[in-house]
Amino acid sequence: MENKGHELHRGLKRRHITMMSIGGTIGTGLFLASGNVVSEAGALGGPIAYLAIGILVYFLMKGLGEMATFMPIPGAYTTYSGLFVHPVLGFMVGWNLCINGFLGLGAEIVGGGMILNQFFPSIPPVAFCVILSLLILGLNMIDVKSYGEAEYWFAGIKVVAIIVFLVVGVLMIFGVIGGQGFIGLSNWNSESMFPNGFTAVILMMTGVIWSYLGVETVVAAAGETENPQKNVPKAINTIFIRILIFYAGSVTIMGLVVPYGNVSVLSNGYAGLFGLAGIKGAAVLMNIVILTSLASAAVSIVYLLSRTLVALSKEGKAPRALGKVNKRGIPMNAVLLTMFLGQVSLITNFVSPDKVFFFLISIAGFNTLLGWFASFFSHYKFRKWLVAHGGSVDKLKFKMGSYPMPTIICLLALVAIAIYTAYSPSTRFSFYIGAPLLVLYFIIGTYLHKKGKLQETNYKPFLDSHLNETEIK
């Protein structure tokens, strides 16, 4: 049975979850996958893909934030899907997130192995995958406050690195540094901006979606955050400016400075820009920063998945053993299972790392569509559920503006991306793997629901608090 004496601790402060929302997303999806996006979508098409999905992510987080401030619990959005829509959808979202996260964790580890292999080419990447896995496991074994502190500084390194990248890139564009002279918009031409047409931009959006995987960590952390009604909204409100700067901004600079034909997964544009700037040792330093970022993002994924498994366990959607928490507030069984399944990265021992990396992010990107679709749909249903239970939308501490139009538009956009992914020969394989998994989740979830195994979350304390506050005001 679940250990009732030990629960997850509220040890995360606002500065922790603010940096976690940055650190959870800045990893292979930006530093390595962006190279593939720019090389395929183009010097202008790449930034457009990141900006388009970034806008969608902003509205996603606004909706999730609205629900999370009402009901701050671990594994938040899986619970919201089950409570506000249907228990089977909650089951599907929860396990889809877990399987997707295992693939994403594997991709982060593979990316780290590729970077380390550049420094030590005589050592096979699979050895680095094992070393990184042990490091990630160790960081997730400490108490949540220490984890938050570590992630705060890791994320700080990423932020500083990207700011330096942006400054150096702008100086290169105007010819202040580097041997190229004034670059201006010379790298944006008819051949480089959309080399494979605008359809390639749409196709690359699946990989870009995976790049943002982890931004939901701030919502999942609401259950372990001090004063979540105040701190979670503050973290979410800064997301859009970070998307503009860190994603669209840095990828735009990359496309302007580094010829798109020189950018790929293995030749990422971040280290390449410093090399073109003629800064000695800067490219090596950037690779070290990227390595730190990958490890940080992987740690965030393990945190996110382990808390999701705890929520699934409490709702009867996963074995009870996964809900056990030790005296330090760490769900040991959930962390260990996450790390074990994340060892999909070890297939690099048999296949080249860059191919494994692209394979993992393509599948993970497609599978992320379900989680995001369910989150938007949950938010659409949430307000109706709240009013039906006697609550008031006006008294919510955090609200998405212009509801429900952004939610509906984003739902339609996700459906369109999924259809296009299935239609295109270059991305169809991710559909062929992802779609059967969704059907499997549905079948298992429906069976468990009919057997009465799926338990409804105890929402009464949150609803009562909301109703009482309404009466006071």
CA atoms of 207 and 222, how far apart (whole Å)? 27
Q: Using an 8 Å Cβ cutoff, are 207 and 365 in contact?
A: yes
Q: Which residue is listed with tokens 């190279």?
A: 35
Q: SS3 for 40? A: helix
Q: Decide if pLDDT at 1 tops 50.
A: no
- Find the domain containing 162 and state its range: 14-464
Whether 8 maps to a domain, the answer reads no
pLDDT tens column, 164-214: 889 999 999 999 988 788 989 888 988 889 988 888 888 888 778 877 766
Q: Decide if pLDDT at 7 tops 70.
A: no
Q: Please tell me whether the peptide bond between 404 and the residue prior to it is cis, using omega within 30 degrees of 0.
A: yes
pTM of the model: 0.81
Q: Decide if pLDDT at 266 tops 60.
A: no
What's the rounded mean pLDDT across residues 300-316?
83
Q: Decide if pLDDT at 376 tops 90.
A: yes
pLDDT tens column, 275-286: 888 877 777 887
Question: Of 257-266, 348-357, 394-403, which has the strongest mean pLDDT?
Answer: 394-403
CATH number of residue 370's parent domain: 1.20.1740.10
Q: Decide if pLDDT at 392 tops 80.
A: yes
Confidence of residue 407 (pLDDT cuts 50, 70, 90): very high
Considering only residues 311 and 231, tell me which one the structure prediction assigns the higher pLDDT: 311
Confidence of residue 17 (pLDDT cuts 50, 70, 90): low
Whether 242 maps to a domain, the answer reads yes
Q: Decide if pLDDT at 10 tops 70.
A: no
What's the rounded mean pLDDT across residues 6-18?
59
Whether 4 maps to a domain, the answer reads no
Confidence of residue 397 (pLDDT cuts 50, 70, 90): confident
Whether 7 maps to a domain, the answer reads no
Q: Which residue is listed with tokens 């594997």?
A: 106
What's the rounded mean pLDDT across residues 233-241?
75
Q: Using an 8 Å Cβ cutoff, are 24 and 210 in contact?
A: no
What's the rounded mean pLDDT across residues 446-471?
85
Whether 472 maps to a domain, the answer reads no
Task: Enumerate the β-bridge partners of residue 12.
Answer: 225
Q: Considering its fold, how many domains does the chain have in total?
A: 1
pLDDT tens column, 313-344: 888 888 889 888 888 778 889 999 988 888 87
Whether 83 maps to a domain, the answer reads yes
CA atoms of 403 and 254, how far apart (whole Å)? 35
Q: Decide if pLDDT at 473 tops 70.
A: no
Mean pLDDT of the chain: 81
Q: Decide if pLDDT at 2 tops 50.
A: no
Report the 3 state secondary structure along the chain.
CCCCCCCCCCCECHHHHHHHHHHCCCCHHHHCHHHHHHHHHCCCHHHHHHHHHHHHHHHHHHHHHHHHHHCCCCCHHHHHHHHHHCHHHHHHHHHHHHHHHHHHHHHHHHHHHHHHHHHCCCCCHHHHHHHHHHHHHHHCCCCHHHHHHHHHHHHHHHHHHHHHHHHHHHHHHCCCCCCCCCCCCCCCCCCCCCCCCHHHHHHHHHHHHHHCCCCCHHHHHHHHECCHHHHHHHHHCCHHHHHHHHHHHHHHHHHHHCCHHHCCCCCCHHHHHHHHHCCCCHHHHHHHHHHHHHHHHHHHHHHHHHHHHHHHHHCCCCCHHHHCCCCCCCCHHHHHHHHHHHHHHHHHHCCCHHHHHHHHHHHHHHHHHHHHHHHHHHHHHHHHHHHHCCCCHHHCCCCCCCCCHHHHHHHHHHHHHHHHHHHCCCCHHHHHHHHHHHHHHHHHHHHHHHCCCCCCCCCHHHHHHHHHHHHHC
Confidence of residue 217 (pLDDT cuts 50, 70, 90): low
- Specify the pLDDT at position 8: 55
Whether 1 maps to a domain, the answer reads no
Whether 473 maps to a domain, the answer reads no
CA atoms of 140 and 148, how far apart (whole Å)? 10
Considering only residues 374 and 341, tell me which one the structure prediction assigns the higher pLDDT: 374
Cβ neighbours of residue 59 closer than 8 Å, sequence gap 6 or more: 376, 400, 406, 407, 410
- Specify the pLDDT at position 4: 46
Considering only residues 350 and 439, tell me which one the structure prediction assigns the higher pLDDT: 439
Per cent of the chain over pLDDT 70 is 85
- Specify the pLDDT at position 385: 94
